[in-house]
Chains A and B, each alone.
Chain A
Amino acid sequence: MLFKRTGRAGKAAHELPDTRGIIIFPSVEEALKGERTLKKEGHECKLVAPPPGLRQGCDLALEVQLIEQTALARALEGKVAYLGIYPLKGAAELLQIVKVVFFPQDVMVKAGNMKLVFAQNTGIIVNISGGGCPDVPYLYAQLVGRKLDEVERPRHKGFTLCALMLDRAWEEALAIWKGGRPT
């Protein structure tokens, strides 16, 4: 046979990606308020000085777990003013590239690792695929079978970066369905 079993590779001796993110605030007061708000909702966070490349507000920022970006943004929304949530290292911006595939009856919109499929004639979401965070199957159950313009947007229901990518796909799908994008 073509395949043979070989030994497993040893432990990686490579530098690890950084899973931390940072929230930048316009003032020290908002940063302190942000810390109280997030801790109250059970998020781990700590006050730090923003790294030079991300210094755009005050001299105090919050270090968080980046995977929780969607939930963190929702916890702060309307309560605390903040300038943005960013990864501490690596690509500074969330992937914004969207790819669209047309099928005879349906349209698939891909944003990052998430795909949302809707029926061209009704705008009903017929499938969601991709992703790996636990809110993906949850969002599937909430969104599939319902119209694009009648669902609560994914970033309002989900908690993770997968939910944020799905939100990006939903946004684009809605624009295509409403005629705002060439088909």
Chain B
Amino acid sequence: MERGKAHLILIAGTLPAENLGLIHGKVVRAGDSLRVKDFTFPCGQGTGAMISSALAVTSALGLEPPHALLAGDIGRGQGTRLLYQYLVEEVKNLKPQILALHYCLPIVRLMQKLCEVLERCQPRPWLIADAGAMYAAKAAGVAPQFDVFTPDPSEMAFLADPEASHPAYVSRHLFNSGVQDVPDLAKKAYSHGGAARILLVKGAIDYLVTEGRVVARIEEPNVPELECIGGTGDTITGMVVALTGAGWEPAEAAFLSARINRLAGKMAGVTPATPVAKLIDHIPGSLKELAKKEVLSV
């Protein structure tokens, strides 16, 4: 893809609301919140954090904002079903270049159905998944069809466990693995089809893995408080989505996103009690900082 050119990004995920039907449209910032059509929602944890960080990047780069496909779900799965049904029917017409799937109930048969449809899309969008969508893709056996997953170390253990259908039932010996064992877990996950082509494993050390092999480690700046903050994984994934949409290769996008997230955490002076919105505010500044260091040519 050509860098700096607008590519249609579609982020699909649920919001924690009981009676919210499907909403689809371009995302705009509305003060401290986000808006899609007439619906306003907070940029906090979950899909909201992912969209906010993607929007922060596209705005900073002067690109088209992402589109969002949202539905309310508090864990019963009704919003998840709406999202998948809509995508199965409409993704060919929507023609996103980047499709990011996020918080949803991991329902295996829905994910399989969607992937069948995506296989027939020409060209096929880049596929990025985190959270419940990543769980579903692994459990459904379609993980290798995805370009990027962004697990944390506990989710990495889940991807490496061929029998686990959810991180709550991971084999004890895999869960007990330390951060130094991430490369082995990644290799295991890749060998049995539990991994996407690219993994960005978010943790004390961020590992960038392509096709089962660690190609980069990101350790600086070291901000241990980030692990406490709900939504910091979502922000990384949102940036991977936006930078891929801006034309970076997904692996480059993942590498840069991990760096930007750490830098934003440092600039925000986060504590374990910091809400993720504060970190998101510092994403544009972090982007500029990396551009200054010529790590990122904006």
Contact = CB atoms under 8 A, between A and B. Distances in A.
Interface of A: 1-6, 8-19, 42, 66-67, 70-71, 87, 89-91, 94-95, 97, 101, 103, 105-106, 108, 110, 112-113, 115, 117, 119, 126-138, 140-141, 144, 158-165
Interface in B210-227: 210-211, 215-216, 224-225, 227
21 contacts: A6-B211, A9-B211, A10-B144, A66-B169, A67-B105, A71-B76, A87-B165, A97-B175, A105-B271, A110-B154, A127-B275, A129-B232, A130-B233, A133-B103, A133-B106, A133-B132, A134-B16, A135-B74, A137-B16, A138-B74, A140-B45
Contacts of B75: 70-71, 133-135, 138, 158-160, 163
Contacts of B139: 16-17, 19
In terms of DSSP, what is the predominant structure of the interface of chain A? loop
Given A12-B193, A136-B131, A137-B48, 15 more contacts: A2-B215, A11-B142, A14-B141, A19-B139, A90-B171, A103-B271, A108-B272, A112-B168, A129-B227, A129-B228, A129-B229, A134-B74, A135-B74, A136-B46, A140-B46
Contacts of B206: none
A134 B105 CA distance: 6
Nearest to B71: A134
Contact of A19 (B108, B161, B172, B175): B108
B183 to A, nearest CB: 17
B189 to A, nearest CB: 11
B229 A90 contact: no
A8 B210 contact: no
B165 A113 contact: no
